[in-house]
Amino acid sequence: MAKQTDVIIIGGGVIGSSIAYNLLNDGYTGEVTVFEKDKGYEFASTPRSAGGIRQLFTTAINIQISRYSLSKYKTFEEDMKVDGDKATIDFQDRGYLFLSKDGSFQELKKQHLLQRQYQVPSQIVEKKNLLSIIPELNITDLQGGLYCAEDGYLDPYSVMQGYIRKAKQLGARYHYKEVKTILTGRNGVKGVQTTDNEIHHATVVINCAGPWGPALSGKIGLPLPVVPLKRQIIQFDIADPLEKDLPLTVDPTGVYFRHEGKHVLAGFSEKVEPGINFKWKRSFFIEQLWPILANRVPNFSQAKVKGGWAGIYSHNTIDQNAIIGVHPDMAGYYLANGFSGHGMQQAPAVGKGIAELIITGSYQTLDLTPLRFSRFKENDLIIEEAIV
């Protein structure tokens, strides 16, 4: 017998769970059902993220999304309280810093002007002043940086669990089952079929399946320009501790690093073939990260690798930004995919936006229309320069 619900969310990672929470928190009275195939979230992108939260973007839409999301992360622990239990997310407001050399300082200055238009308190930092942020930094080849003290990093797994707990408290139903396919009819989406052949009907289905989302959409003839790309993170210890806690710092090469407790973690978007692959290698650290890290911060030259992991970016191959909203060719079929490495900092705004779209038919708080699917056909792309 087919089961009936109102909204089906495929994927209970940070995006799906933020949508479930926002729908119910905003007073949606229908039933919200989340399907999640990996109960322990072993392979989801969310717990494998670096957790960087920054407003240092170069497009109006991404700046506004991050600004809204940051405001939500600041009050997250209280807002997501369940039975008096706070949702601790370890948000460290130690700042976010892009370093520049050669001509890229001019670019950072332009980005700074745009960010200021949206009240982001970012600052241009001249070369010598970088040492007040990271006293050990090797600045010889640098021109300066772009810094936002309000930004920082958090624990992605705890954010996701915070949303899940609160969404469940508000009435969301989580089914730990895999969706085999989305069901469609002449008038739009009809529901989903799970791998154990259960049928669940709904007039709203939201694809939040992260790296697995494009394959599901492809099965119903609605391909997404999104591919899975492996991204590695390595955690290491250093012999000489740094004087100050690190902001999330992005070297001009794209290698990034931050503190994780007393350890340091670092990553880099290396060139890889698309595919789902969770193997991480020490050689990635030795060959690609360490030479850059040791040059940038001399304390990193004596690094002891403690561990690492690989996770997957859902990489939008056209303009490296999220795809949000109803699919133009399928009524009731919503997309929240293609976050290309910046989904943690977008989850609160995307959850709110999709909830508003479903409840009221339009965006109320923040207009996410620039991220619509039809932008590709209309050649109205969102070209973001600050991709990490």
Question: What are the phi and psi torsion angles at 3 (to 5°)?
Answer: -100, 155
Strand partners, 181: 193
Which range touches ligand FAD (CB under 6 A), out of 10-18, 161-169, 362-370, 377-385? Answer: 10-18
Instruction: Sketch the per residue contact string, 211 through 240, with ligand FAD: x for CB under 6 A, - otherwise.
Output: xx---x--------------x-x-------
The structure tokens listed for 125 are: 């930092």
Pairing of strands 173-175, 144-148: unpaired
Give the closest residue to 54 by CA, choosing from 271, 346, 336.
Answer: 346
How far apart, in whole angstroms, are the C-alpha atoms of residue 224 and residue 315?
10
> Is 36 near ligand FAD (CB under 6 A)?
yes
Residue 296, SS3 per DSSP: helix
Contact range with ligand FAD by CB under 6 A, out of 8-16, 81-89, 105-113, 271-279? 8-16
CB closer to ligand FAD out of 155 and 356: 155
Decide whether 20 or 134 has the Cβ nearer to ligand FAD.
Answer: 20
When binding is defined by CB under 6 A, the residue of 7, 8, 9, 14 that contacts ligand FAD is: 14
Closest to ligand FAD by CB, 210 vs 332, is: 210
Q: Which of 22, 32, 52, 167 binds ligand FAD (CB under 6 A)?
A: 52
| E strand or H helix at 105 | helix 104-117
Based on the shown chain and the rule CB under 6 A, indicate whether residue 90 belongs to the binding site for ligand FAD.
no
Q: Buried b vs exposed e over 71-85: b needs ≥16 C-beta within 10 Å?
A: ebbeebbebbeeeee
Least distance CB 84 / ligand FAD (angstroms):
27
Question: For ligand FAD, which is the closer residue by CB, 52 or 325?
Answer: 52
In one-letter notation, the amino acid at residue 157 is Y
Q: Chain centroid to CA 172: how far?
A: 22
Binding mask 245-274 for ligand FAD (x = CB under 6 A): ----------------------x-------
Of 45 and 100, nearer to ligand FAD (C-beta) is: 45
Axis crossing angle, helix 14-25 with helix 347-360, rounded to the nearest 10? 50
Shortest distance, position 300 Cβ to ligand FAD, whole Å: 19
User: CA-CA distance, 297 to 196, in Å (whole number)?
Assistant: 53
Interface with ligand FAD, residue 37, by CB under 6 A:
yes
Q: Name the residue nearer to ligand FAD (CB basis): 14 or 227.
A: 14
What residues contact residue 67 under an 8 Å CB cut-off, 6+ apart? 55, 118, 119, 120
**In the complex, least distance from residue 127 CB atom to ligand FAD, rounded to whole angstroms:** 26
Q: What angle do CA 152, 299, 135 make, to 5 degrees?
A: 55
Cβ distance to ligand FAD smaller for residue 242 or 272: 272
Six token digits for residue 67: 């600004």
Type of residue at 94: R
80 lines the binding site for ligand FAD (CB under 6 A): no
Report the distance separating Cα 232 and Cα 60, nearest Å: 29
Q: Are 205 and 334 in contact (CB under 8 A)?
A: yes
Binding of residue 324 to ligand FAD (CB under 6 A): no
Among 95, 162, 308, 311, binds ligand FAD (CB under 6 A): 311
Which sign does the torsion angle of CA 373, 352, 22, 359 carry?
negative
Q: Is 38 a binder of ligand FAD (CB under 6 A)?
A: yes
Per CB under 6 A, the segment of 111-119, 234-242, 292-300, 310-318 that binds ligand FAD is 310-318
Which residue blocks in the chain are alpha helix, DSSP H? Answer: 14-25, 60-74, 76-79, 104-117, 130-133, 156-170, 213-219, 282-284, 290-296, 347-360
Exactly one of 200, 342, 352, 375 binds ligand FAD (CB under 6 A); that residue is: 342
Q: Which two tokens stand for residue 272?
A: 């890889």
CA dihedral 57, 59, 60, 66 (to 10 degrees): -30
Q: Which residue of 178, 198, 242, 295 would you call a contact of ligand FAD, by CB under 6 A?
A: 178
Residue listed under structure tokens 């991480």: 280
Name the residue nearer to ligand FAD (CB basis): 252 or 267: 267
Comparison of 50 and 105: residue with beta carbon closer to ligand FAD: 50
Residue 48 binds to ligand FAD (criterion: CB under 6 A): yes
Regarding 15 and contact with ligand FAD (CB under 6 A), the answer is yes
Q: Within 10 Å of residue 116's Cβ, how many Cβ atoms?
A: 12
State the residues that interact with ligand FAD by CB under 6 A: 10-16, 35-38, 41, 44-46, 48-52, 178-179, 208-212, 216, 231, 233, 267, 311-313, 339, 341-345
